[in-house]
Structure 1
Amino acid sequence: MREEGLLSLCMIVKNEENWLTRCLESIKDVVDEIIIVDTGSTDRTKEIALDYGAVVFDYEWNDNFADARNFGLEQAKGEWILWLDADEEIERKDREHIRDVLSHPECYFGRMKVVNYYGTFPVSYDRSHLMNQYRLFRNDPQLRFDGAIHEQLEIEKLNLTSESVVVLPVTLHHYGYLEEAIAEKGKKERNMLLLEKALEAEDHDPWLDYHYASELYRHERMNEAFERVNVSIGSFLKSQKKPPSLLYKLKYTILMALGSYEGGWPSIDLAIKLYPDYVDLHFYKGIILMSMKKLPEAIETFEYCLELGEDHASYLTMVGAGSFMAWYYIGTCYELMEDLPKAEEAYRTALELSDSMEQAREALQKLSASTSAPEN
């Protein structure tokens, strides 16, 4: 039975002993109950969960993440649900704000900023993507997860208004895309198998094609990834739906990886018309223009990235696209134009914004070496 004023944390786990303590330590004093659905751990995961006062349920894994999550929701007693993964943690200074949703009687969802780190440890904010996500919601039997993999809340079933959602001043750190985490959990192989199984359905959700394209990209099967993301875009258009911005981000990320800059021109302008304030798309456009030697136009585009900034968390935004990375490419353009003073200024600005940006540091060192070299 649901109890008003209570907040339940719901998680599904398997062999998460290396991550679970960090996660639960970050949230233990904020939630009223912890519901852990274990899908077959053989390490200390369940023992750790019990140490934090969690109620642990064993669940027979059936290759369906949504089913496991929904089983956990059915056990929750709280009026509100917070869902996390074991490889995540709440920013400690923000965590008390999670309960702010309880004081919004008209609210149905709480969103928070998720920082998705990539690369390797130690983590750096400068190597991450940002996006606001729905992580808190009312405990309503009508609201459930859908999807065997990359499951999502069935939000479209609800008639939401601006009063239905509150954006909380809370940051969530997600480490699951770090190379160590992917290798440790065998995510690539597992995800490919689950996606290929789900794609066998004739009328499958076009989101599955997107997620399959993402996995192909991670496997460096770039041509296949490009074909599949276009299938996803086409499926959304066929159903008379606007393709989500994530699809275009992935499409042009793949083209960049392929070095197929001409293949992205001028089609990227069509994507920008759909999402004119998406800084990542403008950033990719700048790289395309630079590769085509349209250097003044590229500089103008990167300067527009700086105007847009990175405070657009409704999109999956790469940290740096509207700041230090844009400055670095402005410097590259000026260097190609042989305007070395402006190139140096841009590289220095990039380093001021991100001291860890080795590309700018190396470019600046090479520039200094070339300008100080004695003439023959």
Structure 2
Amino acid sequence: MNKCLLSVAMIVKDEEHNIRRALESIKDIADEIIVVDTGSTDRTPDIVKEYTDKLYFHPWKGDFSEARNNSLKYPTCEWVMVFDADEEVKEDFKQIRKFLKTLPKDINTVYLPTLSYLDWDLKKTETASTPRIFRNGTVKYQNIVHNQPIHKGKVIDAPFIIYHYGYIWTRELREKKYNRTRNLILKHLENKNINPLEKIYYLVQLYKTEAISKYKYRKYEVGLKTLNEINKLKKVPGIGVEFLFLFGIDALNKGLYNLSKELFEKALVSPEYPDPYFGLMALYEKMDDLENQFKYAKLFLEKIKYAEKKPEKFKWTIVGFKYKATAHTILAKYYLIKQDKEKFEYHIKKSCEIAPRTGENIKRFLSNIFEEISKIHNIKFLKDIHYIVDDLLKYILRNNLKINVWNTIYKYLDNGIHLSGIEHFAETRFQKFVVKKLLDKKDYLVNFIFENPEEDIHSIKEILFFFKYYSENKEKLLKILANIRKKFDEENQGIILSLIGDVYLKLGNFNAAISYYKKAIELNKTVSKFIKPVIDDLKTKLDKNIDGTFEEIMDYFGSLKELIFEINAQNEELEYLNLISDSDYAKYVAALNTKDLERKKRLLSNIKNIDDFPFYYYRLAKIFEEKEDFKKAFEYHIKSCEKNPKIGDLSLGKYEYDGFYLYTTPKFSKSSDEIIWCGNISEKFSGFGIINPIRVWKRSSNFLYTYPYPTNDSIKLVKERRKKIIDKWPFDIDNDLLFEILQKLKSNKINFIDEKVPKNILNELSIIDEESEAVLGMNIINTNPKIILPKNTKKGALIYLMPDFNDKNNPIWYNPEIRILKSTKQIALELEKMGFTISEIISKKYFRVILF
């Protein structure tokens, strides 16, 4: 080792937990080690003496620069490296000696990158390049805290990393360091002669110091003050770039998206600095802007790659190294959505590889990715990436990550694509049944719903369901039914006995069947009408293929409802019930609970016994409604009512569909008119047996109209029936609105051209209902294609219904008492053509009022 090339100068105090690591790492690199102790009370001096005899004692004077400058009095080598007790260097740092020997004489200062660990697992890091090595005698430190070296001559960057452990604190050490550093910075900022750049530097250090405080308001107060100082300076200094990123993250977490965007973009004044790109990526992730997430994630990784190669180029802290996996996950998600298999695979593998080193939340990343996979509808692409999904599942198992991957597993299995190892993820009863069904191909519908049938069944509907879908041997079924029967009263026992008779019939035990049928009749007279035809058939021929009583009983109990029995289970279990059972019931329930229209349609089309489901065609109609194939929707809605007339009055359940509805074909109607809405209006309002429950809204040249188009008499009759049956009608005009309109008309005589106004309102305003120049219409807009007013009309008001045209569930579409819809602009134009001037338009909930 050449003598006196490199001295190391340290100031220490109470560092016995760190100092050995630091000295051990530097002992074979430095020619001499200078240590100035500022008042240790622990074993620090004893440890230092094991490595150097150049230990000096200097009293602490509350000034880091004073202490640092004292340590610089003692080195005797050409170069001096400032080093701290909570730092270390690695084996490759030995190359620093060769590097220093080659430097030209006019180079006096060397910047080195410092990599700071932020957690005990040494995964989270940040990096900054600072001046560390100086020609002896060319540097002096100033300022009492976060002391800055004032150095002479040219500078150079070198890629030799110093590793810093000082940010890994215990709670006690954190508090101690916080109070000491904060007080020193505040004291320094009291200096009235401090220049703007120095003031910003120390404000940023104070901001970072306040980040470890429990008093969060202090941090944000300092942050706003720092931002103000940077804005006044009208340029961004190096330390300001770091601050803009950090404060931008604070603004982002607060939900101040515009401010965070402004801060991140301002930090791009240093375009090679990676952190602002990460900030913008995080911002656009919060805003759910995929394209910009992708753009900035890509830029961030490009910049971080440069920073990793050239950390010495950055004179401020880089925290982005700990977010690399996040960026790779964003890119993986982007390429997954774009269905680029190779790039998706590359980035998700990178994310899985990097996250354990950086301490990023790989669990959250993979949860996000699996959720996106579950949304993919392209089955070919799902097949293409299934080996990647297999690898990810293995990764999750290997690392014992608790992630809900079942939405993706369901997606694959539902499309007949096998994934390996899914049995390791099965935790719930349902998931275990899915795995069992996959392995042994048995049907587990009944097993899932009734863990113990004899204890779990409490109603006749449950018994009927159990009877229909029970698939094990019939002798066991007889035993279960016999035990369940004991729970019920005599009338319901009669139903169970008839079912027992059905089982014996199928077993060919005709005497037992007849015996149980007769006992059933004794206990329940209602079932006799189902049993007698069976007994009569058996008198003719003893044949076990004769239909029993079950189907008739099922129809009797189930005709009013879509499903005889509704399972109490979680949404995802209902959505994928078909994965534990091949039964029509499982397919139907899965179809009801999925939002995927194509899957819904596929499941329904795979049902074999359509007649078991009285709402089958109604559900098909709803699919075509959502797909906006309104012609198909109309066809299936009509068919659903024809197959099950009860669907003709879903809201009241009183008027079954009979096809006897009066309608007309208006002259303005064309078969080519566009259909913009279709539905069963009885979902919300009954047609009271007068108005066809199945309706479409079609677009003519100037307005919308219903098809079938009900006659005037039909509309009149439906109103009369409705008023007798319905107390509260959502389309009754509010009395306050009527009062307001009548006042605005300013007339004591008004011609009410269709509906009448309550007498109490007329009396209160002293208004007479008779022929007049002032008119009020409450119906004509929504029932007539043209506005027809009395010849002597000079002013008036028209009240009409106006739906939200973008809301297909708006109640107005379902109102059985209207057949025309016009926009306010169309009504105004029509009135203007008639010579009227529009004076005011009022909007209130479903209603509009146009005064002229």
TM-score range, shorter chain: 0.7 to 0.9
| Residue in structure 2 matched with residue 131 of structure 1 by the alignment | 128
The alignment status of 1:109 with 2:132, answered yes or no, reads no
User: 1:185 offset after TM fit, Å?
Assistant: 8.0
Q: Which string of whole-angstrom CA distances, capped at 9 and with x for unpartnered residues, describes residues 186-233 of structure 1?
A: 212221222222222234331111111111122154443234234334
The alignment status of 1:87 with 2:83, answered yes or no, reads no
User: 1:311 offset after TM fit, Å?
Assistant: 2.7
Q: Which residue, out of 156, 171, 174, partners 1:165?
A: 156
Inter-partner Cα distance in structure 2 for 1:85 and 1:359: 32
Inter-partner Cα distance in structure 2 for 1:50 and 1:266: 53
In structure 1, the residue corresponding to 2:55 is in which secondary structure? Answer: strand
| Residue in structure 2 matched with residue 145 of structure 1 by the alignment | 141
RMSD after superposition: 3.0
| Residue in structure 2 matched with residue 359 of structure 1 by the alignment | 361
| Residue in structure 2 matched with residue 71 of structure 1 by the alignment | 70
Inter-partner Cα distance in structure 1 for 2:171 and 2:160: 23
Moved more, 171-180 or 346-355: 346-355
Which structure has the higher relative contact order (CA within 8 Å, separation 6+)? 1
Please tell me whether Structure 1 or Structure 2 has the larger radius of gyration of its CA atoms. Answer: 2
User: 1:243 offset after TM fit, Å?
Assistant: 2.3
In structure 2, the residue corresponding to 1:323 is in which secondary structure? Answer: helix
Alignment of 1:150-299 (within 5 A): 150-155=146-151, 158-160=152-154, 164-167=155-158, 169-180=159-170, 183=173, 186-204=176-194, 205-206=198-199, 207-219=201-213, 221-236=215-230, 238=232, 242-244=236-238, 245-272=241-268, 274-299=269-294
Inter-partner Cα distance in structure 2 for 1:289 and 1:95: 44
- Assess if the C-alpha contact under 8 Å between 1:192 and 1:212 holds in 2: yes
| Residue in structure 2 matched with residue 325 of structure 1 by the alignment | 326
- Assess if the C-alpha contact under 8 Å between 2:63 and 2:143 holds in 1: yes
Moved more, 302-311 or 20-29: 302-311
User: 1:301 offset after TM fit, Å?
Assistant: 1.3
In the alignment, structure 2 segments of 5+ residues that lack a partner are 371-404, 415-575, 577-589, 591-852
Q: Which string of whole-angstrom CA distances, capped at 9 and with x for unpartnered residues, describes residues 246-278 of structure 1?
A: 222322233244443343124422221x11221
Inter-partner Cα distance in structure 2 for 1:183 and 1:31: 30
Q: Which residue, out of 393, 405, 408, partners 1:371?
A: 408
In structure 1, the residue corresponding to 2:78 is in which secondary structure? Answer: strand
Inter-partner Cα distance in structure 2 for 1:219 and 1:329: 32
In structure 1, the residue corresponding to 2:139 is in which secondary structure? Answer: coil
- Assess if the C-alpha contact under 8 Å between 1:305 and 1:322 holds in 2: no
Which letter maps to 1:153? Answer: P
- Assess if the C-alpha contact under 8 Å between 1:117 and 1:128 holds in 2: yes
| Residue in structure 1 matched with residue 755 of structure 2 by the alignment | none
Q: What TM-score, normalized by structure 2, do the two folds share?
A: 0.40
- Assess if the C-alpha contact under 8 Å between 1:279 and 1:321 holds in 2: no
- Assess if the C-alpha contact under 8 Å between 2:128 and 2:318 holds in 1: yes
Inter-partner Cα distance in structure 2 for 1:110 and 1:20: 24
Inter-partner Cα distance in structure 2 for 1:345 and 1:103: 42
Return closer, same or farther for 1:35/1:241 CA change in 2, 3 Å cut-off: farther
Alignment of 1:20-99 (within 5 A): 20-98=19-97
User: 1:112 offset after TM fit, Å?
Assistant: 2.3
Return closer, same or farther for 1:101/1:358 CA change in 2, 3 Å cut-off: closer
Return closer, same or farther for 1:236/1:81 CA change in 2, 3 Å cut-off: farther
Inter-partner Cα distance in structure 1 for 2:48 and 2:97: 21
In structure 2, the residue corresponding to 1:57 is in which secondary structure? Answer: strand
Return closer, same or farther for 1:308/1:173 CA change in 2, 3 Å cut-off: same
User: 1:88 offset after TM fit, Å?
Assistant: 0.2
Give percent identity, aligned residues only. 24
Return closer, same or farther for 1:175/1:133 CA change in 2, 3 Å cut-off: same
In structure 1, the residue corresponding to 2:327 is in which secondary structure? Answer: helix
Which letter maps to 1:289? Answer: Y
Return closer, same or farther for 1:343/1:103 CA change in 2, 3 Å cut-off: closer
Inter-partner Cα distance in structure 1 for 2:325 and 2:172: 27
Which letter maps to 2:291? Answer: P
In structure 1, the residue corresponding to 2:144 is in which secondary structure? Answer: coil
In structure 2, the residue corresponding to 1:165 is in which secondary structure? Answer: strand
Inter-partner Cα distance in structure 2 for 1:122 and 1:322: 16
The alignment status of 1:347 with 2:348, answered yes or no, reads yes
Inter-partner Cα distance in structure 2 for 1:184 and 1:291: 32
In structure 1, the residue corresponding to 2:130 is in which secondary structure? Answer: strand
Inter-partner Cα distance in structure 2 for 1:61 and 1:49: 18
Q: How many correspondences in the alignment? A: 362
Inter-partner Cα distance in structure 2 for 1:267 and 1:185: 30
Return closer, same or farther for 1:268/1:103 CA change in 2, 3 Å cut-off: closer
Return closer, same or farther for 1:271/1:363 CA change in 2, 3 Å cut-off: closer
| Residue in structure 2 matched with residue 7 of structure 1 by the alignment | 6
Return closer, same or farther for 1:66/1:326 CA change in 2, 3 Å cut-off: same
Inter-partner Cα distance in structure 1 for 2:92 and 2:177: 31
Which letter maps to 1:359? Answer: N
- Assess if the C-alpha contact under 8 Å between 1:26 and 1:90 holds in 2: yes
In the alignment, structure 1 segments of 5+ residues that lack a partner are none
- Assess if the C-alpha contact under 8 Å between 2:323 and 2:360 holds in 1: no
Inter-partner Cα distance in structure 2 for 1:29 and 1:181: 34
- Assess if the C-alpha contact under 8 Å between 2:328 and 2:347 holds in 1: yes
In structure 2, the residue corresponding to 1:317 is in which secondary structure? Answer: coil
